[in-house]
DNA sequence: TTCGAATCCCTACATTTGTAGTTGCCAAAT
DNA sequence: ATTTGGCAACTACAAATGTAGGGATTCGAA
């Protein structure tokens, strides 16, 4: 697997928008993100360029000939990479302490706890 | 709560060393970290200075009058902050998807699964 | 056909981060 | 007293990040 690009925090917002819906043009993306990040369109374009350089997204073209952008890497893969790196940095790479931490620091509903326990069991025999 | 300082990746290594054992002088720290990070002592000093500016560590003095460094913030609090930020960035702030992700992507032993389930149960009734 | 809005391509610039090097000073060993 | 070995204080400098601005081009509407 080609090692995944390093996606910064701002860039991640763009990626999320594209994973959510793509292709999108720069101005569409700007509008999509306007509510959350109040970025100037040039800011969005700069980030898009950087993401292309990093190989995280590709370009296409819509019917009117305007450039469009779409993910070149899968979200799940990026989430795994970010997760690995976080786990490494903060929990020395160990999953259990991480899970313990979040289990203890989150208010989960009984239903969620039930689901999680099920997933834990499944993680064993598969 | 005094909002916690933003600790970078390299800085985090220093903090870990200090949480593990403090106070330490700059040269002690350099030696402590030598096996992992092969940093020049000046690098360590620069990072220490930045951590002081950020309010993450404080200084003291040992019996020989040499400056020592020690944490000014608790590890658990920083871990919580980093965890929050990570969960926000990657999982939109939701704990369950995060837990599901790590539960599925880690090879846990039966024993660990047992412990985790117990912790999940406890997280409910407390 | 001309003007303005949308697109693109460059350039800019302050911060943060990673990683030191340089210099000055002081106390301990010759 | 001189040298030397630490320690402290500054300075350095490139890459990555956040956040745009300006100029050229083009396409559709007036």
> Which strand C nucleotides have any atom less than 7 A from protein CB atoms?
6-12, 16-22
Is any atom of strand C within 7 angstroms of residue B46's beta carbon?
A: yes
pLDDT tens readout for residues A66-124: 999 999 999 999 999 999 999 999 999 999 999 999 999 999 999 999 999 999 999 99
Greatest Cα pair distance, chain B, in angstroms, is 52
pLDDT tens readout for residues A21-52: 999 999 999 999 999 999 999 999 999 999 99
Please report residues of B whose CB lies closer than 8 A to that of A77. none
Measured distance CA(A49)–CA(A19) in Å, rounded: 17
A101 and A53 in a common domain: no
Is any atom of strand D within 7 angstroms of residue A81's beta carbon?
A: no
B99 and B54 in a common domain: no
The mean pLDDT value of chain A amounts to: 96
* Burial (CB count <10 Å: 0-12, 13-18, 19+), residue B40: exposed
Q: Find the Å distance, CA of residue B22 to C1' of nucleotide C24.
A: 29
A125 pLDDT band, cuts 50/70/90, is confident
**E strands within A10-56?**
24-25
B110 pLDDT band, cuts 50/70/90, is very high
B36 and B6 in a common domain: yes
Q: How many CB atoms lie within 10 A of CB B78?
A: 20
Q: Find the Å distance, CA of residue B19 to C1' of nucleotide D10.
A: 28
B104 and B87 in a common domain: no
A60 and A110 in a common domain: no
How many distinct helices (H) and strands (E) make up chain B? 6, 3
Looking at residue A98, what is its pLDDT?
Answer: 98
Looking at residue A2, what is its pLDDT?
Answer: 64
B2 pLDDT band, cuts 50/70/90, is low
Note whether A97 contacts B: Cβ–Cβ < 8 A.
Answer: no
Q: How many domains does chain B have?
A: 2
Looking at residue B125, what is its pLDDT?
Answer: 80
A80 and A28 in a common domain: yes
A21 and A47 in a common domain: yes
- Coil, strand or helix at B33: helix
Range of the domain at A108: 94-126
- The CATH number of the domain holding residue B82 is 1.10.10.10
pLDDT tens readout for residues B6-63: 999 999 999 999 999 999 999 999 999 999 999 999 999 999 999 999 999 999 999 9
């Amino acid at each position: 697997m080609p090692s995944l690009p390093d996606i910064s925090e701002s860039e991640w917002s763009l990626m999320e928008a594209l994973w959510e819906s793509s292709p999108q043009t720069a101005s569409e993306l700007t509008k999509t993100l306007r509510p959350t990040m109040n970025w100037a369109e040039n800011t969005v374009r700069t980030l898009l360029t950087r993401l292309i350089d990093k190989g995280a997204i590709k370009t296409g073209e819509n019917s009117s000939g305007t450039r469009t952008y779409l993910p070149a890497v899968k979200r799940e893969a990026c989430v795994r990479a970010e997760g690995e790196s976080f786990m490494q940095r903060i929990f020395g790479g160990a999953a259990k302490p991480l899970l313990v931490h979040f289990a203890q620091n989150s208010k989960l509903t009984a239903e969620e706890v039930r689901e999680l326990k099920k997933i834990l069991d499944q993680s064993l025999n598969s």
